[in-house]
Structures are given as C-alpha cells and as structure tokens.
Amino acid sequence: MSTARNDLVLFSPSGIVARAAPVRKAARRLKAMGFDVRVDEAALLKQQRFAGDDDTRLAALHRIAGEAPAVALATRGGYGLSRLLDRLDWKAMQRSVEQGTAWVGYSDMTALHLAALAHGAAGAAQPGEGVRAGLWAGPMACDDFGRDDSDLGGDDVTQDTFSEAMSGELEAVGFRTEAGFDGLETSGRLWGGNLAIVQALLGTPHFPRVRGGVLFLEDVNEHPYRIERALLQLHQAGVLAQQKAIVLGAFTEYRKSPLDRGYNLKTVIAHLRSVCPAPILTGLPFGHVPVKVCLPVGRKVNLMVQGRDAFILW
Amino acid sequence: MSTARNDLVLFSPSGIVARAAPVRKAARRLKAMGFDVRVDEAALLKQQRFAGDDDTRLAALHRIAGEAPAVALATRGGYGLSRLLDRLDWKAMQRSVEQGTAWVGYSDMTALHLAALAHGAAGAAQPGEGVRAGLWAGPMACDDFGRDDSDLGGDDVTQDTFSEAMSGELEAVGFRTEAGFDGLETSGRLWGGNLAIVQALLGTPHFPRVRGGVLFLEDVNEHPYRIERALLQLHQAGVLAQQKAIVLGAFTEYRKSPLDRGYNLKTVIAHLRSVCPAPILTGLPFGHVPVKVCLPVGRKVNLMVQGRDAFILW
C-alpha cells in the first residue's frame, strides 16, 4: 500500500449475507493483501431478504461515511439500496470521499454510485491525480474475495487491479474490443454500472445527468430482449446520444428462448448501433464475471482504441 | 352488437405467433361472438423473435390505422413495440380512434396505449358516453380466445366483458378489494398496464404525464423485489404521488427465492403504502391471468369502494 491509511470496512447495503464463511474468507484474503480489515457490526444482519432492515442499513452507511475508512467494500449486492436513496445523507457521503474513502462494489452498488454522482457526492478528482478516494465500480467481498474455488479466493487480475486502485496507483484499464473502432479517441466523465439499476434510476432525482460521458454497462440474468428494452429506453430518453461512447461489459447467465430464432446479444447491439449515434464498444472486463476491473465512477477519463485494443485512462 | 360496424382485425405488433392454430381458433370464436373477423396479412410473419421485422410491423400498424376497423385486437404480446414507438404515426392512430377504432390488448400493448396517450392519440371520450373507440387494456386473441382448454377457447367473464366493451355498453367494472378502503371515492384519468412496460417508458417522450389519475398495474414473471424496485422508481419519479389511486391487478408466475425469508408481494405493497400517500388498492381482475376485464385507457373514470367492493365507472 502506497497510502498511509489502509483500513477497509466490509458492509452490506443490500441483500442478506446467507453464510458468514465467505465474508470471513474475504476478510482473511484482504488482510493478506495488506488491508486493515473490519466487518461492520450490521454486515451479517438478516431481515427478510435484506441485510438488516432499512433503518439499520441506512445507519450503517451513515456510520461508515462518518468513520471515513480508506475503503468501504460491499459484501454483496442483491436488492436494497433503492429503498434508501431518498433518505441517504449525501453531504455525509461527500465528506467521506473528501476524507479519502473509496466506496467499492458493483451490481446493486450502482444505485449508491450513481445517486452519489447525481447528488454531487462523487468527489472532484481530476485526470492525472493518483487518488483512491471516490466511487469505484469494482469487486465485492463475497463474490470476488470470498469464494471457495481457489486458494486465493478469487481471480488474480481482479484482486491485483483492486489492490492497485486502492493504493491510488491504477491509472488505466485496457481490454480487447471488436474491430471497427481503431483510432477512436474521446474523453468524458465515466459513469454507469448495472443496466437494470441504471434503468431503475431513470426519471428519478437519483439519476445523474451526465452529458458527454463514457457510459459503461453490464447485467446478469436478463434476456437480450430485456437488455435491448432497457437500452432503448435510455436511447429514447436521450441519454445514449448524449454520451461520447457506450462501453458494454459482460451480460451473462440469461436463458435463451426457443422463440429467439437468431435473436441474441449480437443482434441487440447491432440494432442499438442502427439507432444510436454514439459508438458502442464491447469487451469491457466488468460485470457478474470473475475477471473484473476497477472503474472510477464520476472521473473524467480518456477512451482510446488502437486496433482492437481499447484503453480507459484517468 | 349494438353498433353498426363490427369488423375486427387481428394483428401482431410484437412477438412472433409460433403456431397459427390459436389465431385460427380465436378467429372462429370471435366470429361466433358476432365479429366480422380478418387476420392482418402480416400477423403470422416471423423474423427472429418478432412477428415480422420492424418495418413490416410498423406498416401493419399504419395499415390498420388507415383501415380504422371497429376493433384492432392484438394476437399476443411479447416484445417489439418499444422498437416502433419513435417511428409511429400518432396522427394516424388518432384518426383511427376518431373513426371509431378500439385498440385492444395488454402486456406489450401497454407500450402502444401509453405512448398513444402521451402523443394525444387516445381519443376524447368523456364519462357517460357509451363509445367503443379508443385504447382498451383487455384480452388478446391467442391468450384469451385461442386456448385449447375449453370449448369456448377462453374465460366467460373475459369474453363477455370484451363483448360488452366492444359494443359500447360496458360502463363499469367491479372487483373485490382488501378491507380498509370503504368509502373511498375519487376520479381521474385511467391509465397503466404492464408494470415493466410502464417502467420502460419512464423518462422517454412516450411516457404520458397523467396527474390526478387512476393508475392500474399488472405483471408476470417478475420477482416481488423487481416489482418493488419498479414501483419505487415510479414513486421516486413523483408519478405515484401524483395519482388519485393506484390499482393493482395480478402479479403472477414469479419464482420465490430461499433468500426471501418472508419477503413477498404483501410486504412489497406494505412498504409501498408506507412511502406513497396515494391509496394502493389490490384485487383488480387484470393481468396475465384468464379472468381479465376491459379497461378504457385514457378515459376519465370514477373509482368507488363500498365495503370491500370496488368499482371503476366511466
């Protein structure tokens, strides 16, 4: 760790943690990576399908914002942040970011990230500043550090990227994209996350109005027609055309239908490209998949493509 | 039939009709009910998961609007209207309604109904006028008139209500609701339909801005947390609080999760009632269920509750 502080709090803003073992495993793994790990007192609570009732989860978010640890890492996603957005103290979130906190996660955490962006609580880091503070679309404890399927408890690339990001050293991510975008070079505010959550914020005060941005999206368990419907909604709402680029991550684990007859993710993207003027890139290593990078939500980034190699730099 | 015209066109604006048999059965049944039935030339086309490509389905809608039959009844839903909304000729839709056409269906047809309402193509019928013309949330050919499971090919209540609505005689629907709303009496524009479609229109130019309305909603294959998330979005967007009442139909065919632990449709509605000031009624016989009433979308209605008996009158 190149920064002085390395305290990391695991918290549960959304769904219940069914078993404590993956959290304990993640805590061990993160300690081995050099973090001073603490599990928030409410992280393992259970109320219906939530990690504690709304008041409890809200209090946990405010408590952690007050403590302003170096890293606030969600244990998992699920559903739950939508219930808290109207009641969250965005000034407290903003202060935690100013004091250096990185809020990290994906899936349901998209709601926290984008609402924070909408309410001006994303920090104000500029390109070139090697800071950790802010909103990071990135791994989560149970999914990426708490699995049983390897000694490391997760994917190496994911963990290394997270480690770099949390030390303030990560300055870019690269990925292989489709042919046809060679020479593309643009810049804008990076934002996005889980498509269903982006969709579920549209039209509300928690949806950030980012113009000229770079929008990244991923989703899980959604049939391509539902992915298309959500993307078409963003298009019809004027959101897609306002972006410099759309960058698609992984869309996984959906079930095909015998009625599809050749309709698939590829035809969805082709249709979107036929109606949306902004370039739509694919291949971002992000989503409900083991290999995921860290992406600074709200940061100004440069997007460059050389041949089929794409880079997002900040 | 009390009206002079009784021509009915079956058309497919969305998903493919996998088998022609239910359409033929529905046509026979509707003929037996007194309609002069015609199957649109494109109704049985297939392109990927759609009933013909976008241009073909759009041309079918414009062709039928030009013909202005007494009844334009969708064969089925699925997905597809979202792709056409930006290109639909709403003036042509409006003219067809002025010439007496009733556009009938549910599920994906919600997109046509609500976008027509948003673009001023819903007609201008007032309470008390016994007219058929306009937008009707109601049955569809394959689902409600084309099934094999009875000699009649569908549910009696559904067919009788449809018959009454299409003759201009239907003036109200009644249903059994929960206790706690006795004496409720309000009025407003009736609108709504499939929740996922209502959600997918939000923030776009195709979303009708109805204030002081009566909003009805149904859905299928959506877990209660997704229903809650969509309803919370409508709430956070200010839509629910602007309504005189929300009336919930059937929410069916979702799969529970072992993580729910007591979280269900009932707790969803309780949560919604705790944040939304508008009365939220349940029990409307409408949705992806055999027994469904016809509801005039865009019409001014009165909503009354006596004991547990609720009535929507126009």
ipTM for the predicted complex comes to: 0.96
pLDDT at residue A129, as a whole number: 54
pLDDT at residue B1, as a whole number: 39
> Of residues B119, B218, B222, B235, which has the active-site annotation?
B218
Each as own residue / partner, the long-range contacts of residues A61-66 (CB below 8 Å, 24 or more positions apart, any chain) are A61/A11, A61/A13, A61/A88, A61/A93, A61/A112, A62/A88, A62/A89, A62/A92, A64/A9, A64/A11, A64/A40, A64/A96, A64/A101, A65/A89, A65/A92, A65/A93, A65/A95, A65/A96, A65/A101, A66/A92, A66/A96
Using the predicted structure, report yes or no on whether residue B3 has a pLDDT greater than 50: no
CA distance B88 to B62: 8
B230-282 confidence digits (pLDDT tens): 999 999 999 999 999 999 999 999 999 999 999 999 999 999 999 999 999 99
DSSP B142: I
Contacts of A270 in chain B (CB under 8 A): none
CA distance B275 to B278: 9
Round the average pLDDT of chain B to a whole number and report it.
94
A53, A236, A255: best to mutate for the B interface, most B CBs within 10 A: A236
Active site residue B62: no
Q: Tell me which residues of chain B have a C-beta less than 8 Å from any C-beta of chain A.
A: 15-16, 18, 46, 48-50, 78-79, 82-83, 85-86, 199-207, 225-226, 228-230, 232-233, 236-237, 239, 257, 259-263, 267, 271, 275
From the list B49, B206, B230, the residue facing A259 with the nearest CB is B49
A197-247 confidence digits (pLDDT tens): 999 999 999 999 999 999 999 999 999 999 999 999 999 999 999 999 999
**Consecutive H or E run containing B30:** helix B21-32
From the list B85, B203, B262, the residue facing A203 with the nearest CB is B203
B24-42 confidence digits (pLDDT tens): 999 999 999 999 999 999 9
Contacts of A201 in chain B (CB under 8 A): 233
Please indicate whether, in this complex, the C-beta atoms of B200 and A230 are within 8 angstroms of each other.
yes
B152 Cβ neighbours under 8 A, 6+ residues apart: B29, B159
Residue in B closest to A54 by C-alpha = B271
From the list A200, A237, A263, the residue facing B204 with the nearest CB is A237
pLDDT at residue A297, as a whole number: 97
**β-bridge pairing B295-297 and B134-137:** antiparallel
pLDDT band of B4, cuts 50, 70, 90: low
Q: Answer whether A74's CB lies under 8 Å from A109's CB.
A: yes
Delimit the domains of chain B by residue range: 7-166, 172-313
CA distance A190 to A200: 19
What residues of chain A score a pLDDT lower than 50? 1-3, 127
CATH 3.40.50.10740 for domain B7-166: yes
Cβ burial of B190 (10 Å; 0-12, 13-18, 19+) is: buried
Contacts of A78 in chain B (CB under 8 A): 259
Provide CATH code, domain A172-313: 3.50.30.60
Mean pLDDT for the stretch of residues B108-136: 86
